[in-house]
Chains A and B, each alone.
Chain A
Amino acid sequence: MTTSNMVMYEEEFQELNKVIQRLLVEANAKVIFLVDKNGQLISGVGETDRFDTTSLASLTAGNIAATGGLAKLIGEKEFSILFHEGEKDNLHISIVGGRVILVVLFDNRSSLGLVRLRVKKSSEELSTIFERLVRKTDEKEKKGASEFPFAEITDDDIDNLFS
């Protein structure tokens, strides 16, 4: 397989949350999500309870994938920023560090300019954390020290999931 599994550790998770929590305040946004390019939700801050976060993550990734396909057709590597304008709420979607999607939902209490500015700054911080995360995972894997929870899994464990 060409890509390894994505792994998230407590320490980096807290750091990521700190960055998007600050972005939420600085950009005056309603909700912010971090989504893996494959559609898995990594984290969210703000009024997350009001949204179906799993569906949102999946559709965002689909959206990025589809526009990425369009980009390639016209000879671009990718479209790194997408903006969807609604009557009340808007979505600012951007790619962070080539692998993760940052979704900012905001209304007329903020503005596209402000969101873009703040996102740019936070993206660099987020990229650094994700780079470190990848290095950490690789190192743990090399050492064979990954405290992988499924190493001891049995057939019964799996059968129980479906019972």
Chain B
Amino acid sequence: MSFINYASREINCKIVYYGPGLCGKTTNLQYVYQKTAPEAKGKMISLATETERTLFFDFLPLALGEIHGFKTRFHLYTVPGQVFYDASRKLILKGVDGVVFVADSQEERADANIESLDNLRFNLIEQGYDLDKLPYVVQYNKRDLPNVISVDELRRDLNPTNVPDFEACATTGEGVFETLKAVAKLILMDLKKGK
């Protein structure tokens, strides 16, 4: 649910990065943070455990610039990926405008990906959303590792509806901005349609 402020001429949108534990959601945000000009970003907040696992969420506000005189701001959130944090994940999905599903390309995480995607669908329904109607993109992360599943196979399992998808290596930044740009574009297009 975006927030359009005619008084301050601003539009705010919320993007949530979803995916199984350790798939690289936080790393995506960290890369975006590192590579964004200081004037375009706010402080990145990570509510994490002592071992740097996300406990509640990461948050990164981005001000991308103006469209037709309106400041366009995106608020990027990650969910905690570990299975037992499900209650927190549901809360973060509230008011979401667009979703990035970050998949871990490694063979041994195939089941975790599917489980997390099912969980995403289920939690969205609980909040009154339908994943097939939301701006939504998929990222196949960790493509640099040796034991990865082929993109075709990942696509078959995780992207049956053929939404925009991207190969990525979030630690080096490959594919990170492409993913963000794609979901932002879908959100703005949705706004254009006046949804």
Whether the pair B59, A55 counts as a contact (CB closer than 8 A) is: yes
A13-B7 contact given A5-B1, A150-B68, A162-B64, CB 8 Å threshold: yes
A58-B67 contact given A39-B75, A40-B12, CB 8 Å threshold: no
Total cross-chain contacts (CB, 8 A): 136
Whether the pair B6, A161 counts as a contact (CB closer than 8 A) is: no
Alpha-carbon gap, A54 to B75, bound state (A): 9
Residues of A within 8 A of B (CB): 1-10, 13-14, 36-40, 42, 52, 54-55, 58-59, 62, 65-66, 68-69, 146, 148-153, 155, 157-158, 160-162
Whether the pair B3, A157 counts as a contact (CB closer than 8 A) is: no
Residue of A nearest to B96 (CB): A38
**Can you report 14 residue pairs joining A to B where beta carbons are below 8 Å apart?**
A1-B1, A1-B133, A2-B128, A8-B7, A10-B7, A55-B45, A62-B47, A65-B91, A66-B56, A66-B88, A149-B69, A153-B67, A153-B191, A153-B192
Please indicate the chain B residues that have their CB under 8 angstroms from the CB of A149 in the complex: 4, 11, 67-70
Whether the pair B56, A148 counts as a contact (CB closer than 8 A) is: no
The one of B5, B133, B189 that contacts A42, using a Cβ cutoff of 8 Å: B5
Within 8 A of A (CB), among B116-167: 127-129, 133
Whether the pair A8, B4 counts as a contact (CB closer than 8 A) is: yes
Please indicate the chain A residues that have their CB under 8 angstroms from the CB of B64 in the complex: 161-162
Whether the pair B185, A5 counts as a contact (CB closer than 8 A) is: no
Whether the pair B42, A150 counts as a contact (CB closer than 8 A) is: no
Mostly helix, strand, loop or mixed at chain B's interface? mixed
The one of B75, B88, B181 that contacts A40, using a Cβ cutoff of 8 Å: B75
How far apart are B31's CB and chain A's nearest CB, in angstroms?
Answer: 15
How far apart are B32's CB and chain A's nearest CB, in angstroms?
Answer: 11
How far apart are B43's CB and chain A's nearest CB, in angstroms?
Answer: 5
Please indicate the chain B residues that have their CB under 8 angstroms from the CB of A6 in the complex: 1-4
How far apart are A86's CB and chain B's nearest CB, in angstroms?
Answer: 18
A162-B181 contact given A9-B7, A10-B7, A37-B95, CB 8 Å threshold: yes
Residue of A nearest to B59 (CB): A58
Any chain A CB within 8 A of the CB of B18?
Answer: no
Any chain A CB within 8 A of the CB of B57?
Answer: yes
Please indicate the chain B residues that have their CB under 8 angstroms from the CB of A66 in the complex: 56, 88, 91
Please indicate the chain A residues that have their CB under 8 angstroms from the CB of B128 in the complex: 1-3
The one of B4, B90, B91 that contacts A7, using a Cβ cutoff of 8 Å: B4
The one of A5, A59, A146, A150 that contacts B67, using a Cβ cutoff of 8 Å: A150
10 A-B pairs closest in CB distance: A38-B95, A13-B7, A2-B128, A65-B91, A40-B3, A8-B5, A161-B64, A40-B12, A54-B42, A54-B61
